[in-house]
Amino acid sequence: MNERIIELTEINPSDLFGTQNANIAILQKYFPKLKIVARGNKLKIYGEAIVLDEFEKKIQMLITYFSRYNKLDENSIERILTSNGKEQKSAKYADGVLVHGVGGRLIKAQTVNQRKMVESVVKNDMLFAIGPAGTGKTYTAVALAVKALKEKEVRKIILTRPAVESGENLGFLPGDLKEKLDPYMQPLYDALRDMIPFERLDSYIEKGIIQIAPLAFMRGRTLDNAFVILDEAQNTTHNQMKMFLTRMGKNAKFLITGDPGQIDLPRRQVSGLKEAILTLKDVKGIAFVHLDDKDVIRHRLVKQIISAYKSIEVGNE
């Protein structure tokens, strides 16, 4: 009798095993010739080599399914155990869903320009998504990054923002450096928590699979096999933007988001985002998507607020 040990590193064992090992009982029903023992984060299986190979393939399919949909119930387990794998592949882009979020939430591109972001990322390695607050730039960007990670197109996600003090003094905030900077990163954490279960997100951050850091921490790095998002890019300087864009390594996707109408830099300081839009507009492989008030997906008043301020700004020009 052959022994095979499968160590579970991509999934919480309790998610695979089920309540009181209920999922193991289903596996045992479909593989009656195997002895299956679940202990800690390992599965020990005993039986003939050819059956063990088939069992290992099905376990990997279950793990992939859970990673994509954040759930694993009796129906989905039985469907996967009796399938040949084609069903999963054909459903990969079904219904325009980018990510199956926490609690089964379906996360999609909801507007024309958000869908342009999705299309542009497929065709280009660098994308600038430019538009006002509430247009879903950051949220769509994070969804695209999570999708790429789940589908193993990249090995890590790196999320960064310039830590510009928009009317507030960073030095007076309590705590250590991480605690001072975390409020700047909160929108990125919020998006991730919608898309990745809490325990798995913590694990990804602890292992460095997902990294969230201020822009200054990118200096000197080469970012390979990563989906990298620079958020609030309107608050970068010339040097910061150039430094960031030149971090791009092999098999990397860069997505830069920003709102040129919300610059918090000192007066007379040129925005790195505005400069990059003009400088890079003709570079092949770099795409630009401009979002506007038609893409606002927050409260209905946000769209009206943007329009009202736009009329004031036009009048002051």
- Both tokens of 117, joined, read 């972001």
For residue 121, what pLDDT is reported?
94
pLDDT band at 85 (very low <50, low <70, confident <90, very high): low
Query: Is 212:185 a contact under the CB 8 Å cutoff?
Result: yes
For residue 54, what pLDDT is reported?
92
User: What number is the average pLDDT over the span 177-183?
Assistant: 60
Q: Which CATH number fits domain 94-316: 3.40.50.300, 3.30.450.40, 1.10.3720.10, 1.10.10.10?
A: 3.40.50.300
User: What number is the average pLDDT over the span 272-296?
Assistant: 92
Q: pLDDT tens digits, residue range 182-226?
A: 677 788 889 999 999 888 898 899 999 999 888 888 988 999 999
Let me know the angle formed at the C-alpha of 145 by 140 and 148, rounded to the nearest 5 degrees: 125
Average pLDDT, the chain: 84
Q: How far is CA 245 from the centre of its chain?
A: 19
For residue 268, what pLDDT is reported?
85
For residue 313, what pLDDT is reported?
61
Lowest mean pLDDT among 35-49, 137-151, 157-171: 157-171
Q: pLDDT tens digits, residue range 219-263?
A: 889 999 999 999 999 999 999 999 999 999 999 999 999 999 888
pLDDT band at 83 (very low <50, low <70, confident <90, very high): confident
For residue 315, what pLDDT is reported?
53
For residue 35, what pLDDT is reported?
93
Q: Report the 10 Å Cβ neighbour count for 201.
A: 18
Q: Which residues contact 17 (CB under 8 A, 6 or more apart)?
A: 23, 24, 38
Q: Give CA–CA dist 178/181, Å, rounded.
A: 5
Which of 293, 270, 259 minimizes the C-alpha distance to 113? 293
Q: pLDDT tens digits, residue range 16-68?
A: 898 888 999 999 999 999 999 988 888 999 999 999 999 999 998 898 888 77
Residues of CATH 3.30.1370.10 domain(s) within the chain?
2-90
For residue 76, what pLDDT is reported?
82
Q: Give CA–CA dist 71/125, Å, rounded.
A: 31
Residues of CATH 3.40.50.300 domain(s) within the chain?
94-316
**Topology (CATH) of 2-90:** Ribosomal Protein S8; Chain: A, domain 1 (3.30.1370)
Question: Which residue has better confidence, 198 or 167?
Answer: 198
Question: Which residue has better confidence, 179 or 10?
Answer: 10
Q: Give CA–CA dist 38/309, Å, rounded.
A: 60
User: Can you list the alpha helix ranges (DSSP code H) found in 82-136?
Assistant: 86-90, 112-123
Q: How far is CA 179 from the centre of its chain?
A: 22
For residue 20, what pLDDT is reported?
87
